Amino acid sequence: MQRGRIDQMDDFTVRFCSLEDTIVSKMRYYTEEDSPKHLRDTAGILRVQGDSVDREEIARWAESLNLMEIWEIVLSQPQLQ
């Protein structure tokens, strides 16, 4: 997974997760909580961010974390069609 950091000033740092990391994390949360909110959030990120999301990277992580079934559910969401 990729994480970033932006140093704005000497005493102020912003840390953030990549879109891909956020999506994979949401899929993992879904397996733990079984909340459809995480799938909706994930589909929303994909819809809004479009081609800036590396879907191949997500698929690699999904496969290695046994989340491929969930990834396929996300990709089948009507708002992504």
Domain count within the chain: 1
| Residue 12 is assigned to a structural domain of this protein | no
| Residue 53 is assigned to a structural domain of this protein | yes
**The pair of three-digit structure tokens given for residue 3, joined into one six-digit string:** 């994480």
| Residue 71 is assigned to a structural domain of this protein | yes
Cβ neighbours of 42 (radius 10 Å): 26
Q: How do the pLDDT tens digits run along the chain, 81 residues long? A: 545 555 566 676 667 789 999 999 999 999 998 888 999 899 999 999 989 999 999 999 999 999 999 999 999 887 765
| Residue 1 is assigned to a structural domain of this protein | no
| Residue 8 is assigned to a structural domain of this protein | no
| Residue 26 is assigned to a structural domain of this protein | yes
- Which amino acid, one-letter code, is at 4? G
Task: Read off the pTM.
Answer: 0.79
Residue 32 sits in which domain range? 18-80
| Residue 4 is assigned to a structural domain of this protein | no
- Report which secondary-structure segment, H or E, holds 14: strand 12-17
